[in-house]
Amino acid sequence: MIKMKKQILIFFVILQSVIVNAQLAGTYEIGATQTPPFNTVKSAVNELNTVGISGAVTFLLTDPLYEESGIELKNIQGTSTANTITMRPANGVNAEIKGNGEYILGIGNCSHIYFEGKSPNNTGSLTITSTETDITNSVIEAVEILFTNNQTYNIHVNNCNINASQPFFLMINILTA
């Protein structure tokens, strides 16, 4: 009996170690009241980077303000013409992603990404704002898109308001490597 309990315990330990998070597909609300990892933009994007997608994914921003920076979409598995990733405000929400640092949103080695500045019924907006004031940084961007080895393509930023606290900071920086 003890040997059988031990075997069952070992089985569940092994089973737990091989269980992985399912790929994302569908619509997810991102906001402070949501269950992690969908309580912040950065944690939702980190989940996306980790598990990839198995269908089209839409992130709806439900809060008016997200104070975050260094949000990186990178190496996302499963994107295609049909399996796109869209980030947009929820209906009736004027959402702003505001932060400081070298960049607010970074995109690299991924494709079929859409930042839509309008909600599904056109009653909301999306603003991306860099509040960085330290001019000692070499380049400050609200959005940075890095095109590398033909792995970054079909990146769309539509109808978004992109702002910076300093007039000489770069709004969108597109780099090639």
The torsion region of residue 26 among left (phi > 0), alpha (psi -120 to 50) and beta comes to left
pLDDT class of 156 with cuts at 50, 70, 90: confident
pTM, two decimals, is 0.82
Q: What is the pLDDT of residues 67-105, one digit of tens each?
A: 998 899 998 999 999 999 999 999 999 999 998 877 888
pLDDT of residue 18: 39
Question: What does the buried/exposed string (b/e) look like for 27-60 if buried means 16 or more CB atoms within 10 Å of the residue's CB?
Answer: ebbbbeebeebbbbbbbbbbbbeebbbeebbbbb
Q: What is the pLDDT of residues 100-132, one digit of tens each?
A: 877 888 888 888 999 999 999 999 999 988 887
pLDDT of residue 19: 46
Domain ranges for the chain: 23-176
Is pLDDT of 134 > 80?
no
CA-wise closest residue to 85 among 26, 141, 142: 26
86 vs 1, higher pLDDT = 86
